Amino acid sequence: MSGIISRGFRGRRRSAETEGRLPPGQYLTTDFPVLSAGPTPRTPLDQWDFHIVGEVEGEQRWSWDEFQTLPRETFTVDIHCVTRWSKLDTTWTGVSLDTLLEAVEYDADYITAFCDGGYTTNLPLEEVTGGRAWVVDTFEGQPLAPEHGGPARLLVPHLYFWKSAKWVRGIELTDSNIPGFWESLGYHNHGDPWLEERYWDD
């Protein structure tokens, strides 16, 4: 079904500036909305660490200080939330998942990111390698604020933003694609904004 005309509705057309950069059904925002299912966890940096576990040889753990010594990248990307806002030209600094995965030998096809607060999200490994995913701790040159996922969050900008798990503490490599938190609650298992993969049956 489409095209039931809403009597008298005009709406707001997209500007030429955003054409081609806003996925279908998204609108531009300039603020940075906060969306979380529960309270914001606050883990002190001296208790923070990041793990790679699961189908790996030699599970890996970095303390906060060790994580800071890893090679870092600064990059500018657009982000798209399933609740329909998009934010353009956001700049982040963090460690590529390629760099993190170099530390282990693994045989897996998927990852589950796990987080303070119990949140999880699942991703195909091929979607988080090849320079497409990072663990970031810096937004626009400043330490990432807790409500936006600080001290560190996953960033996978080519998928809907719920895949960019806040307060990330590690990844588990898995053989099968195990639905995470929102993926078990009606949201899409993959989440490509350009294909509008919002809900489970899209």
Chain residues in the site for another protein (CB under 8 A):
1-13, 25, 27, 29, 31, 33-42, 81, 83-85, 117-120, 147, 179, 181, 184-186, 199-202
Give, in order, the Cα–Cα distances in Å from 108 to each of 53, 81, 128, 176.
11, 28, 12, 8
Q: 16 or 71, CB closer to another protein? A: 16
Phi and psi torsions of 30, nearest 5°:
-110, -15
Is 163 within 8 Å of 192 (Cβ atoms)?
Answer: no
- Residue 50 vs 187, nearer CB to another protein: 187
Q: Which is nearer to another protein, 6 or 176 (CB)?
A: 6
Structure tokens at 200: 């489970």
Q: How far is the CB of 130 from another protein (least distance, A)?
A: 30
- 147 vs 175 by CB, closer to another protein: 147
Joined together, the tokens standing for residue 184 give: 């078990």
The DSSP output letter for 99 is H
Least Å from the CB of residue 89 to another protein = 17
Strands 120-124 and 85-96 come out as: unpaired
Structural contact between residues 137 and 194, judged by C-beta atoms closer than 8 angstroms: no
CB of 164 to another protein, least distance (A): 16
Min CB(101)–another protein separation in Å: 26
Task: Please say which residue, 66 or 199, places its beta carbon nearer to another protein.
Answer: 199
Could you give the CA distance from residue 101 to residue 57 in angstroms, rounded to a whole number? 11
The distance of closest approach from Cβ of residue 116 to another protein in the complex, given in angstroms and rounded to an integer, is 9
Alpha-carbon Rg for the chain in angstroms: 18
Torsion sign across C-alpha atoms 61, 65, 69, 74:
positive
Distance in Å, CB of 187 to another protein, minimum: 9
**Hey, what are 93's tokens?**
């600094």
Q: Which is nearer to another protein, 6 or 142 (CB)?
A: 6
Spatial neighbors of 191 by CB under 8 A, at least 6 apart, are 82, 159, 160, 162, 163, 197, 198
